[in-house]
Amino acid sequence: MSLAIIDDFANATTQLRAAMQAADLSDIEQAMARFRTALDAVQAVGAWRTDPALKARVGQLLGELQSSRMLALLMSDLTGQMHASAAAREMNAPQALYQPSR
């Protein structure tokens, strides 16, 4: 496994985060497809666990991945709040099918 696969995964992560920050649904969908492909490539090989240089590079990505996960959770929470606010104002608005557990 080469560093190129890890670098492609890092670039896909950066692209996805930028799309989420821009809140552009089309860009998010495209970036998500690229992210899935890059993640599958890293998982398929798995040899990065035994190569110290590759393992260090993946370790560097963990912070960015955690930050992206937190951004996705924040966006999800904001969307839920906006939906609840719209539903409270308009009785005919579609209602949530479930309530998230806290």
Digit-coded pLDDT (tens) for 83-92: 778 777 777 7
Could you tell me if residue 16 is inside a domain? yes
Let me know if residue 49 belongs to a domain.
Answer: yes
Domains in the chain, number: 1
Range of the domain at 84: 3-89
| Dihedral sign for Cα atoms in the order 50, 4, 37, 16 | positive
Q: What is the pLDDT of residue 34?
A: 94
68 within some domain: yes
User: What is the average pLDDT score of the chain?
Assistant: 81
Rounded to an integer, the average pLDDT of 22-44 is: 88
Q: What is the per-residue pLDDT for 31? A: 92
What pLDDT does residue 36 have?
92
Kindly indicate the confidence band of residue 95, based on its pLDDT and cuts at 50, 70 and 90: low
Total Cβ atoms within 10 A of residue 91? 7
Residue 78 lies in a domain: yes
Q: Is residue 98 part of a domain?
A: no
In a domain, 96, yes or no: no
Quote the CA–CA distance of 23 and 16 in Å, as a whole number: 10
Asked whether the predicted pLDDT for residue 29 surpasses 70, the reply is: yes
Whether residue 18 lies inside any domain: the answer is yes
pLDDT at 1 over 60: no
Q: How far, in Å, CA of 31 to CA of 37, rounded?
A: 10
Residue 19 maps to a domain: yes
